[in-house]
Structure 1
C-alpha cells in the first residue's frame, strides 16, 4: 500500500487534533482487542487481590507509551509524523510477566504490567523510532528514559513486584494518540509482516 504524502498527513492529523481540543499527544503501542480484554480481566482480579480502590483503565485505553509529543510545535509534530512514516521494521512480540506499583504523586501511584526478557524487541523498536526522531531534529522527545509498561490503574496504595501469567501479543503497528477525556487515535502506522 503506498504511503500517504507526509505533508497532507500532517495537516489531516493537525486538523483532527485541533478540532478535538488540546490534550496530551503521544506515540503508543496498543494491544489487540482480545489482549486488551484479557489485560482488563487480569487487572480486575489483581485489583481485588491487592484491595485497590482505583478505577481500572478501560480496555480501549490500555497502551505502551513510546514518546510524548505534547508541547511540540506544529513543525516538530510534522517531523515526528515523518519519522514515524520513515520507520521500516517487522512485527514483533511483547511479553509482560509481572506487575508492580510505580512511584507517583500522593494517592496516584500507577499499578502496571512490566517485563524484561519479553520486551527486548520493544526496546529495540523504540530505539529505532528514537533514531528516526533524532534524524528529523527531535532530540528532546527521543532522549527520554523508557521503562516499558502498561498502566492498569492508579491507586493511593502501592505493592511490590508480583509475577503473573505472561501477557503476550504481536505488535503490528503503533498509533498517534490524543488523550483528553479518553483516547483518540489520530493516525496509525503499520509494521511490515
Structure 2
C-alpha cells in the first residue's frame, strides 16, 4: 500500500501500525471504493496539500478506498481464508451508505494524510461489526474495533500538517463493498469479490 520502505498496516483502530518487513506481503481486507469522479476530487485535494506543505508523498489515486475491516496479512494468500472471508461478506445486510468526508488530517501513527468525517460513520460501523461477526462465525479473527474510524488515506508523508475543514466535502453514496487483495509494497489492488448494499 505504501511505497515507503516500511509498511503501515490498517489495524483494528483503522489508524495503522508499523510492520518492519514485507515477510507478509499479501493483505486481505473489506472496503468501500469511491467512483472515478470522487477519486479525482480526492486526488486534487491531495495535490493542493502537497504543494501547500511541500510534501513528498505521492497521492494514491489508483488505490483510494475506505477500509471497513482488515482480514489479515499473509506470506501467500490462503484459499481457505479467502473462502471464509467470502462467507462473511455474504452475511452483510445494509442499505447504500452516504459517505461524507469534510475534514483532512494526519494520522501520526501511520504518517498518513487522510480524509475523514461523520457522514456515513454509523451505518459503516454497523457493516464493520456485521463483517466481524461473519468472520468469527467463518473461523477467522473477528477484528472488530471499538475505535473504528472511517477514513480515506490520500498519501503517506513524514511531515506534520494541520487538520483542516474542507470547503467542499467529498461525498458519494456507496452502493457496494468489496473484498480486496493488496500486494504490499506495490500500489496494486485486486478485487476478489463484491456485494451490493441493497437494504
Q: The TM-score by the shorter chain falls in which range?
A: 0.7 to 0.9
Cα–Cα, structure 1 residues 39 and 89, in superposed 2: closer, same or farther, change >3 Å? same
Counterpart position of 1:96: 101
Cα–Cα, structure 1 residues 77 and 144, in superposed 2: closer, same or farther, change >3 Å? farther
Does residue 169 (structure 1) correspond to residue 172 (structure 2)? The answer is: yes
Contact preservation (8 Å) 1:134, 1:142: no
TM superposition score normalised by structure 1 = 0.77
Contact preservation (8 Å) 1:133, 1:142: no
RMSD: 2.3
The equivalences for 1:44-83 within 5 A come to: 44-58=47-61, 60-71=62-73, 74-83=79-88
Counterpart position of 1:148: 150
Query: Which range moves more in the overlay, 116-125 or 171-180?
Result: 116-125
* CA drift at 1:45: 1.2
* Distance of 1:117 and 1:88 partners within structure 2: 19
Counterpart position of 1:36: 39
Q: Which runs of 5+ in 1 are unaligned?
A: 1-21
Q: Secondary structure at the match of 2:99?
A: strand
**Which one has a bigger Cα radius of gyration?**
1
* CA drift at 1:117: 4.5
Q: Which runs of 5+ in 2 are unaligned?
A: 1-24
Specify which structure has the higher proportion of strand: 2
* CA drift at 1:143: 4.6
Deviation string 1:40-84 (CA, Å, 9 cap, x unpaired) is 1111112212221111112x3100112222247543432221010
Counterpart position of 1:6: none
Q: Secondary structure at the match of 1:86?
A: coil
TM superposition score normalised by structure 2 = 0.75
* Distance of 1:23 and 1:137 partners within structure 2: 19
Q: Secondary structure at the match of 1:78?
A: helix
* Distance of 1:135 and 1:147 partners within structure 2: 24
Counterpart position of 1:157: 159
Query: Which range moves more in the overlay, 115-124 or 36-45?
Result: 115-124
* Distance of 1:103 and 1:56 partners within structure 2: 17
Specify which structure has the higher proportion of helix: 1
Counterpart position of 2:4: none
Query: Which range moves more in the overlay, 29-38 or 63-72?
Result: 63-72
